[in-house]
A = this chain, B = another copy of it.
Amino acid sequence: MSNTIHFKKIALIGIGLIGSSLARVIKRQNLADQIAIATRSAETLKRAKELALGDFYTTDNAEAVKDADLVMISVPVGASNEVAHEIANNLKTGAIISDVGSTKVSVIRQMQPELPTDVFFIPGHPIAGTEYSGPDAGFADLFVNRWCILTPLPNTNKQALEKLAAFWQACGSKVDQMNPEHHDLVLAMVSHLPHIIAFNIVGTASDLEKVTNSEVIAYSASGFRDFTRLAASDPTMWRDICLNNKDAILEMLGRFTEDLASLQRAIRWGDGDALFDLFTRTRAVRRGIIEAGQEVDAPDFGRQAVLQHAVPKTMNGSDLEKPKPD
């Protein structure tokens, strides 16, 4: 059974989308006797308290980690060094220290030198999230059926590793292991590049002179709106990812732009066969993602299911409507 895993005290450093989802699932699955919550912002802490996400609240990271058996750090990756520095002297011997950062080589470089040798530092990354952020955005099911990648350092204590894996499994995750460099390369492709492309195309659309923003908005259902979800993600988090996984991101960007140049050439010269070949090949990938349980099968991401109760106000009207001018 799942809930053989239990901690006396879990400290959550950072209580945004990921931290607050952890708080909720820890409570629901009874994974700890006590949850301590720390965040830099007094306002966010107040909100966490209102939401009753934990048992102990502080703006002092060092205070939160005292006596904790598991410390989960969920902050923008650029803050990793500072957090490690702050908590280092208060960690309990034998505690497991982990994080949820989207880049791993940089986080290890920032944290490992700060941490004492009598704790188990095991970096991790749950592949889960939404475009929303903050303590209100979290929910207990966020990790269900999603992968969590652990990137243990050489000679990591096997028992501690198994304990952390069991924790994530109890949160609903499937657990994988890889080395930090490979993690950063994989994530550059499946997460960082898509976000960068999405931010970029939304920026391009905003800057047009000949097409108004209200036209972009009105007709976005023809494709554009799919990109706006990723482009609405937390700016601080994504700035830090770009700064901390530069090499892998630049490699994937290079491949993407090379392929795009080739596709652009096929469009310019009217090479219908090349276009048809690419457009056929890409269909299969989505099928694979749906079969792997990583995507819904419903058309249009299931938006129709969400909208089915939101019937439009009117289906009549005689005048030609216009999108509002900017």
Contacts and interface: CB of A to CB of B under 8 A. Distances in A.
Contact of A225 (B129, B289, B312): B289
A239 B271 CA distance: 9
A49 to B, nearest CB: 23
A278 B226 contact: no
Given A189-B224, A246-B268, A300-B130, A316 B2 contact: yes
Query: What's the number of copies of this chain in the assembled complex?
Result: 2
Contacts of A306: 296, 298, 301-302, 305-306
Contacts of A204: 189, 193, 252, 255-256, 259
Nearest to A251: B210
Query: Which applies to chain A's interface (DSSP): helix, strand, loop or mixed?
Result: helix
A102 to B, nearest CB: 8
Contact of A285 (B174, B202, B282): B202
B226 A229 contact: yes
A138 B226 CA distance: 20
B282 A232 contact: yes
A199 B282 contact: yes
A217 B292 contact: yes
Interface string A92-128: 0000000000100000000000000000000000011
B283 A169 contact: no
Which residue of A128, A206, A220 has the most chain B CB atoms within 10 A of its CB atom? A220
B166 A189 contact: no
Contact of A191 (B192, B219, B321): B219
- Contact-residue bracket for chain A: 35 or more
Contacts of A261: 257
Interface in A284-304: 285-289, 292-296, 298-304
A199 B284 CA distance: 12
A236 interface: yes
A253 interface: yes
A240 to B, nearest CB: 8
Interface string A259-290: 11101101110101001101111110111110
Given A102-B222, A175-B321, A220-B295, 13 more contacts: A174-B317, A182-B210, A194-B224, A197-B201, A204-B259, A208-B255, A227-B227, A231-B285, A235-B276, A238-B275, A242-B272, A242-B275, A249-B267
